[in-house]
Amino acid sequence: MKLSEEFTRLVPSILIFLFYGLCLTFLTLSLRKIEVSIVYAVWSGLGTIVITSIGIIWFRESFTPLKVMSIFLRIIGVIGLNVGEYLQNYKN
C-alpha cells in the first residue's frame, strides 16, 4: 500500500487488489476443511508477522523488544488454538 503512494502509481495499486483477491480466495477455500476460528487466527497472525517483517526489512522500521515480544505472543496464540482444536478432536 505504501508503494502505491495513495493509488497514484499504477502497478503497485493493481498489485494491491490482486494480492488481496488472492488472499481472500485462499482464505475462503481453506474454510472447506478448517474451522473459521482457526483459519482467521492463522490468516491474521501470519499477515501481521509478514507485514511487520516487511516493514522492518524493507522500510527500515524500528525493531524493538516490544515488537519481538508481540510477534512471539501472536505465534503462541495461533499454536494454542491449533493444539486446543487437536486435543478436542483427539478426546472425541
Residue 59 to residue 57: CA distance in whole angstroms: 6
Residue 39 to residue 69: CA distance in whole angstroms: 23
Q: Residue 47: which of 22, 65, 29 has the closest Cα?
A: 22
In tens, the pLDDT along 18-73 reads 999 999 999 999 999 988 888 888 888 888 888 888 999 999 999 999 988 988 89
Residue type for position 49: I
For residue 88, pLDDT beyond 80: no
Contact at 8 Å (CB) between 30 and 39?
yes
- In the block, cell 492463522 appears at 42
pLDDT at 14: 96
Residue 58 to residue 72: CA distance in whole angstroms: 20
